[in-house]
Structure 1
Amino acid sequence: MLKSERFFVRLGAALGSRLGVGPKAASLDRAAAAGLPVPDGLIVLDELFGESLRQGWLQAAEGRFVLHDVATFERALNLPVVSPRLAVRSAFAVEDGATKSLAGYFDSVLNVAPQDVATALCEVWCSSLRHAAPHRRDVIVMAMVDARWAGVAATETDHEDDLINVTEGLADDLVGGRVPGETRNLPKINAFEGPTESGFAGRLQVLLRDVRRVFGRGNWDVEFADDGRRCWLLQVRPLTQPVTRNEWFTYANHREILPPLPSRLMTSLIASCAQDLFDYYRDFDARLPANRPFIEVFAGRPFINLSLLADMMRLWGLPTRLVTDAIGGRDVFGQGLRWGRLWRSWRALVRLGWAQLQSVGSAQNRIAWLAQVGQASDSDNFTTCLTDLQTVYTALVREMFSLTQAISGPMAALRRLGLLSEWAARHETITTRLMTDLDPLRDYVQAHPSVVDVLRRGGLPHDETFRQLWQDYLARYGFRGIFESDIAQPRYHEQPEVLLASLWLPRGALTPPPLPWFAWLVYPVWWQARRALDARERLRHAAMQTFDRLRQRLKRLAEQACATGALPAAEDVWLLEVDELKRLDGGWRVTPDFLATRREEQARFAEYDFPDVFQRFDDFTAFIRARAGGDLVGQRLPGIGLTRGTAEGRAWVCDTPTLPPGDTDEPYILVARAVDAGWIPVFAAVAGVVVEIGGDLSHGSIVLRELGLPSVTNVRGVTRVIQTGDRIRVQASEGAVEVLKSGVGAVSLASTPAHE
């Protein structure tokens, strides 16, 4: 008589691996042995399949297996009854491998009565014929779960959420692709953390936490079923490919420093540096994702992965709003402090804090380094120039990370105390001096009407004193410019028209708000913030000088490529991506048809107007530019006040820095998607500023705070609802904008288009 113990073992006996069963059965056996909630069940071993063929109980016929002696087969197997309803699942050795899962490739039979197990086994074995190579044909027989909810979950090391796809009842239609189910993110919980959700979601959180405890920190695909009291583990296997998730993205401070549509070259350059940029944080904490993109390109624009930055905060136990407060946008995650995670991350946070304390000295070293790089060599080509540009951009942004973090704490404290605008208005960084150092020129122009006449006509005065003052200014600041972070954008020494036009517009004197006596009690906090602010703006100033050197190199190389016929026109260089430009060194020639297609694509991209945050799977057609209708008179639009005071006037809405017309004594209020140092000429011509997106620490916010202009930032959607000519009131102290009257004296908006 055959002994049935040869043919099956109980799940949880921890014998599966020793008996050589496949990964699927071995994983469930391991899970049950570790105390995870696996339904009662058995592993029917491949030895039964082999013995059945030898004894003739099971025979191959017409491409399938047929049971011929069911009674003898059942007596030999002699399976104990584990449940009145059973699931008979394939667990073949070729399933659930590290690189290939074959999920759903073989059959499972559900709701099987104990007397029908033999037939179900035969049916499952028949599906093994779909895979020609020899393999073990183990089968799992387990109790059916009376599922109220069931589905699959992906738990990945690179994410702080588990992604679940769930449906009511059994999950066979879901995993078979016959129903879509509901997809949602479930926050991970770690050891010693309780569930954050209620109902089955909370029970699933606990199950997935315990799966990670037993199987280790890895990428796992988990099948589950919840009966209303307990969440059961039905399967766990390696996740062989990362899941593309519906993550959140933001243009963030890119909106402040880049044109509405950046050049194709700059977008591709930023994307090419993305991994090195996020490695700044990974240097402090190796637990952070290594393969998750930090920047992705949508409609020709480089967007920051907000979900990734928020997950970094969540891993460290820090509030997710710290990210959006620094770079702009809104906090869609809403996690506060998590003390347990904060404690477990203390080493990384101490290292990060130490880097912040050293950031000013580090920035000074970087400024000295920037003065030495970017020079052309005798063997200069596109590859060497772009490699230098990538190196400079990466070094600049990584240094900015450290300085911004050093600024954020003191600035947040001063804002909470109501002293930030008071101290900032008494300070001047090198970026603010871009405007204040124009005062000698402006004073001279105001005193000489003949010079004003020339400037009004768009000319450059021949007045010797003016020319000397102008050349002195360009020597100090000529390498700066509008949207200067885009290498394709001209610098002031190349295109000074907006700067010159601002000289004949009077600039009102701004008086700093009074400084209360108790402000001196927190002067050390301001001192720390000021040091980092100065260092950050000096770093940017030095980097823009290096950018200008690199820009001139690219222009010379483009002219050479144009002379050899590799490029139709020198200015076409900005339409090409990094890899395409490097191909020019190898003899590639850009055709007019290629450029025509690229220009059409850029024109389509220019029509998009992305919100401050969006998700990967959003309908992008909804982002095509359109202004909202409706009467907004009397409404208040909330934001973040950067300064004190109130300003009232006509709205001047622009995408790029453009001066308002000087045809009225009524003041203008600038309304823009984002601002940076390139908007300084416009700041001199307006009474207040409203910005759609921007954080406390953006370059534009710092300048506005130091200038003391009544300014409000983070007014979501403002450029879509306020139109040029509307009368508005900026209430900076309250962080709000009020619409007083629509269309006061129609004004045509002649916005300068972004450079391609």
Structure 2
Amino acid sequence: MPETGNFVVWLGRSPWPTRVGPKADYLHRAKAAGLPVPPGVLVLEEVLTHGLDQRWIQNTEEGFVIADREALQKTLDLPPVASRVAVRSAFSREDGESQSLAGCFASFLNVPSPEVWPAVCRVWHSSRRLDAPCRRDVLIMAMVDARHAGVAVTETSHEDDLVNVTEGLGDRLVSGLVAGETLHLPKLRAFEKPTETGFAGRLQRLLRDVRRVFGSRNWDVEFADDGRQCWLLQVRPLTRPVIRNEWFTYANHREILPPLPSPLMTSLIASCASDLFDYYRGFDARLPEHRPFIEVFAGRPFINLSLLTDMMRLWGLPTRLVTDAIGGRDIGAQGWRWGRLARSLPALMRLGWAQLRAPSAAHQCMAWLSGFGDAPPETDSFANCVRDLQKVYTALVREMFSLTQAMSGPLALLRRLGVLSALAARHETVTTRLLTDLDPLREYVQAHPHLTAALAEGRVPEDDGFQTLWQAYLARYGFRGVFESDIACPRYHEQPETLLRSLLAERPRQVPLPLPWLAWLVYPLWQQARRALAAREALRHTAMQTFDRIRRRMKRLAAQALQDGRLPAADDLWLLDIEELRQLDGGWCATPDFLAARRQAQATLAGYAFPDVFRRFDNFSAFLAVPAEGSRPAVLQGTGLTRGVVEGRAWVCHTPSVPPVSTEPLILVAPAVDAGWVPVFAGVAGVVVEIGGDLSHGSIVLRELGLPAVTNVRHVTRVIRTGDRIRVQAALGVVEILASESAVTSLASVGIRG
């Protein structure tokens, strides 16, 4: 007859059988490594087969029952574990790499000593829930007098461990009977102290030790905390990633895309997301490979802000560096972490080298772009156009990453020193010249007043002198446009009305402020930043030329699809996503009913007004609601881009259009601005922007023009109304509402007309 020790083994002690399942094996390894695992034993399956042979246990229809309790206890007496124990399955099919079978088998808590063997039999009986045979070992562990218990998930792709916790025992939580409380605990690295107190801090240490013992992988951990010690009850591989309530932002997409982008552009950006984030993974392989960088909500491509802030946290850098660059709100709130920074130095040095080379790399990219985008008409297809667009967009954004980082540090320092606006006012990029190169046309119109009637209607006047100047301008900038980053939006050579009407407004002339002595001291730093600034705007300019070439190809293919009956109208092309475009190559037809449904869907999606940041599981229906009337704050705070103070009437505008005529200075209030707003700037005395970072295209142009401007003013387009008298103190980043008038009253009283 076998010895008792052959059937019952202690967790954490040797010898340990090699044939047991993963659940028991993980706990044994944890206990042996010194992790706080409650005392426990593993009852091996051989007890069951031996008991059946000796007729101590019977296999009945109702389950396994003890036929001779006295003989069983005498021969196979369990060692004393605790007065009350947990009896749990540890079958070989549980807690595998691809399947956990969590909750599939029976477990019993607070079992007194006399009832242990009947509980073991009931656990054995639960193995019948599986069709396939498996080992049927059973865990018996001391009960923890838990004050808090729950489940924690630690994933390599996140800098927070996700915790679901409840007071007392966790059985109702893991069974789904109670929701519990969700916590996000910052991960601890080696030698880092807990950031939390109480059980949360003890849990942070436990999860750090789990990663130390079992490796940096994705783990699902059950725990119980008795007020003094956080105990490990179970650890198993996480078989599926957890969809977390992450933060998202439209960020610089709001500056470069329409309020609702075309389905084509949204799907194109989403298809490039993985390649875009691979830019950063090229410098640091620790960054997550499969975590989405861009996700689509309500027809818009949103940037995963949680992912970017996690990248900063991994590197030990302040999370505000992300929002300083792309706008929005700092949701990570981490400062410098010197230990992590030291461990990340190799990756950061590689990143820094790429930043130093960013302007020259951008010029190489421009050289490639200048010869890219054309294709022979006889072999062209929508699939080819999509492929080329993906290449151009990916190359453009990846180079933008490098250039933005190259100038972010110097610009942030110059802004903190208070000299950035004075220096930027003396700098001009190709984007700024979109406006300044209109001056010869504006002067020509002033000298020929009879041309104003045609311009007011958005028509090119029948005047040889004007047309010569106009064609020269279009040759340089005709491929640019309003919301030009959306391939579906027309270029200036297709729809010039906004440009033509802007010639009727007199452009305010800003006299650059004298450079303070401090600006001369840091001028070398400005020289470094301006190289990256100029390269970034030139790169965008060149990329838009390539976009225009591909757009012409797509319009040519759409005309052919119209002739073949695959499209009801050529412009219906822009209502399709990239997969539907590829289907057009195969003969699929976009029917009028299909397109009508798409237009209806787009109209519904256009009603959403997302905040600057939001979470995945927010109630999106709230973003459709019209803000209730009520008291408004008198002062709004943002980030100052320039110096100067301007007072005038607010003009709230969501898409670029001709500024209304006003008898007072007009201050543009917009959700975001980019190069497509440049003609609008000629007719306003100041600008207030709802979202945008220091390094956005619109911010750069506003600095160079010297207009009093404030960006990143949260909810400003909802708070301020057209006709309000406001004061912008640009250097302080302050916007004051001086007097509120209804839209009708203000339009009539101040002479604003649309």
Relative to the length of structure 2, the TM-score reads: 0.98
Q: Where does residue 294 of structure 2 map in the other structure?
A: 295
Query: Do 1:66 and 1:122's aligned partners in 2 also have CA atoms closer than 8 Å?
Result: yes
- Aligned-partner SS, 1:60: strand
Cα 1:136/1:351, change in 2 over 3 Å: same
Q: What is the distance in 2 between the residues matched to 1:393 and 1:372?
A: 15
1:85-117 superposed Cα distances (whole Å, 9 cap, x missing partner) = 111110000100100000000011110111211
Q: Where does residue 429 of structure 2 map in the other structure?
A: 429
Q: What is the distance in 1 between the residues matched to 2:655 and 2:63?
A: 71
Cα 1:751/1:123, change in 2 over 3 Å: farther
Query: Do 2:555 and 2:570's aligned partners in 1 also have CA atoms closer than 8 Å?
Result: yes
1:365-394 superposed Cα distances (whole Å, 9 cap, x missing partner) = 000000111002231000111100000000
1:629-640 paired onto structure 2 within 5 Å: 629-632=629-632, 635-640=634-639
Query: Do 1:656 and 1:751's aligned partners in 2 also have CA atoms closer than 8 Å?
Result: no
- Aligned-partner SS, 1:608: coil
Deviation at 1:627, TM superposition (A): 3.5
Q: What amino acid is the match of 2:684? A: V
Q: What is the distance in 2 between the residues matched to 1:467 and 1:240?
A: 66
- Aligned-partner SS, 1:391: helix
Identify the match of residue 722 of structure 1 among 707, 720, 723. 720
Q: Where does residue 284 of structure 1 map in the other structure?
A: 283
User: Structure 1 residue 89 and structure 2 residue 82: aligned?
Assistant: no
Deviation at 1:513, TM superposition (A): 1.6
Q: What is the distance in 1 between the residues matched to 2:237 and 2:518?
A: 60
Q: Where does residue 40 of structure 1 map in the other structure?
A: 39
Q: What is the distance in 2 between the residues matched to 1:193 and 1:173?
A: 33
Deviation at 1:398, TM superposition (A): 0.2
1:320-719 paired onto structure 2 within 5 Å: 320-377=319-376, 378-632=378-632, 635-662=634-661, 664-719=662-717
- Aligned-partner SS, 1:649: strand
1:670-698 superposed Cα distances (whole Å, 9 cap, x missing partner) = 00000000001110000000000000000
- Aligned-partner SS, 1:237: strand
Q: Where does residue 28 of structure 2 map in the other structure?
A: 29
Deviation at 1:76, TM superposition (A): 2.1
Dislocated runs of 4+, deviation >6 Å: 748-752
1:99-138 superposed Cα distances (whole Å, 9 cap, x missing partner) = 0000000011110111211111011111111112111101
1:436-457 superposed Cα distances (whole Å, 9 cap, x missing partner) = 0000111111121111232123
674-683 vs 506-515, which moves further: 506-515
Deviation at 1:623, TM superposition (A): 0.5
1:160-239 paired onto structure 2 within 5 Å: 160-239=159-238
Query: Do 1:628 and 1:720's aligned partners in 2 also have CA atoms closer than 8 Å?
Result: no
Q: What is the distance in 2 between the residues matched to 1:272 and 1:266?
A: 10
Q: What amino acid is the match of 2:191? A: F
1:347-381 superposed Cα distances (whole Å, 9 cap, x missing partner) = 10000000000001000000000011100223100
Deviation at 1:249, TM superposition (A): 0.2
Q: Where does residue 741 of structure 1 map in the other structure?
A: 739
Query: Do 2:457 and 2:501's aligned partners in 1 also have CA atoms closer than 8 Å?
Result: no
- Aligned-partner SS, 1:211: helix
Cα 1:311/1:750, change in 2 over 3 Å: farther
- Aligned-partner SS, 1:218: coil
99-108 vs 42-51, which moves further: 42-51
1:224-279 superposed Cα distances (whole Å, 9 cap, x missing partner) = 00000000000000100000000000000000000000000000000000000000
Deviation at 1:475, TM superposition (A): 0.4
447-456 vs 242-251, which moves further: 447-456
Q: What is the distance in 1 between the residues matched to 2:492 and 2:195?
A: 54
Q: What is the distance in 2 between the residues matched to 1:187 and 1:557?
A: 52
- Aligned-partner SS, 1:28: helix
- Aligned-partner SS, 2:503: helix
Q: What amino acid is the match of 2:735? A: V
Query: Do 2:558 and 2:570's aligned partners in 1 also have CA atoms closer than 8 Å?
Result: yes
Q: What is the distance in 2 between the residues matched to 1:751 and 1:144?
A: 76
Query: Do 1:654 and 1:751's aligned partners in 2 also have CA atoms closer than 8 Å?
Result: no
Query: Do 2:747 and 2:753's aligned partners in 1 also have CA atoms closer than 8 Å?
Result: no
Q: What is the distance in 2 between the residues matched to 1:541 and 1:80?
A: 78
Deviation at 1:591, TM superposition (A): 1.4
Query: Do 2:729 and 2:735's aligned partners in 1 also have CA atoms closer than 8 Å?
Result: yes
Deviation at 1:628, TM superposition (A): 4.3
Q: What is the distance in 1 between the residues matched to 2:353 and 2:123?
A: 60
Deviation at 1:667, TM superposition (A): 1.5
Q: What amino acid is the match of 1:450? A: H
Deviation at 1:751, TM superposition (A): 13
Q: Where does residue 310 of structure 1 map in the other structure?
A: 309
Deviation at 1:514, TM superposition (A): 1.8
Query: Do 2:199 and 2:230's aligned partners in 1 also have CA atoms closer than 8 Å?
Result: yes
Q: Where does residue 115 of structure 1 map in the other structure?
A: 114
Deviation at 1:186, TM superposition (A): 0.8
Q: What amino acid is the match of 1:138? A: D
Query: Do 1:28 and 1:38's aligned partners in 2 also have CA atoms closer than 8 Å?
Result: yes
- Aligned-partner SS, 1:78: coil
Q: What is the distance in 1 between the residues matched to 2:389 and 2:311?
A: 28
Query: Do 1:9 and 1:43's aligned partners in 2 also have CA atoms closer than 8 Å?
Result: yes
370-379 vs 240-249, which moves further: 370-379
Q: What is the distance in 2 between the residues matched to 1:579 and 1:676?
A: 29
Q: What is the distance in 1 between the residues matched to 2:304 and 2:660?
A: 39
- Aligned-partner SS, 2:267: helix
- Aligned-partner SS, 1:693: coil
442-451 vs 624-633, which moves further: 624-633
Query: Do 2:508 and 2:684's aligned partners in 1 also have CA atoms closer than 8 Å?
Result: no
Q: What amino acid is the match of 1:677? A: A
Q: Where does residue 729 of structure 2 map in the other structure?
A: 731
Q: What is the distance in 2 between the residues matched to 1:590 and 1:444?
A: 47
Q: What is the distance in 2 between the residues matched to 1:552 and 1:228?
A: 69
User: Structure 1 residue 245 and structure 2 residue 220: aligned?
Assistant: no
RMSD between superposed Cα atoms in Å: 1.4
Query: Percent of aligned positions with the same letter in both sequences?
Result: 68
| Ranges in structure 1 where 5+ consecutive residues have no aligned partner | none
Q: Where does residue 152 of structure 2 map in the other structure?
A: 153
Work out the number of aligned pairs and report it. 749
704-713 vs 373-382, which moves further: 373-382
Query: Do 1:641 and 1:713's aligned partners in 2 also have CA atoms closer than 8 Å?
Result: yes
1:637-684 superposed Cα distances (whole Å, 9 cap, x missing partner) = 00000000011111111110012222x321211000000000011100
Q: What is the distance in 1 between the residues matched to 2:290 and 2:490?
A: 35
647-656 vs 230-239, which moves further: 647-656
1:207-227 superposed Cα distances (whole Å, 9 cap, x missing partner) = 000000000010100000000
Q: What is the distance in 1 between the residues matched to 2:380 and 2:595?
A: 25
Deviation at 1:458, TM superposition (A): 3.1
- Aligned-partner SS, 2:371: coil
Q: What is the distance in 2 between the residues matched to 1:198 and 1:113?
A: 34
Query: Do 1:86 and 1:143's aligned partners in 2 also have CA atoms closer than 8 Å?
Result: yes
Q: What amino acid is the match of 2:703? A: R
- Aligned-partner SS, 1:432: helix
Q: What amino acid is the match of 2:276? A: L
- Aligned-partner SS, 1:145: coil
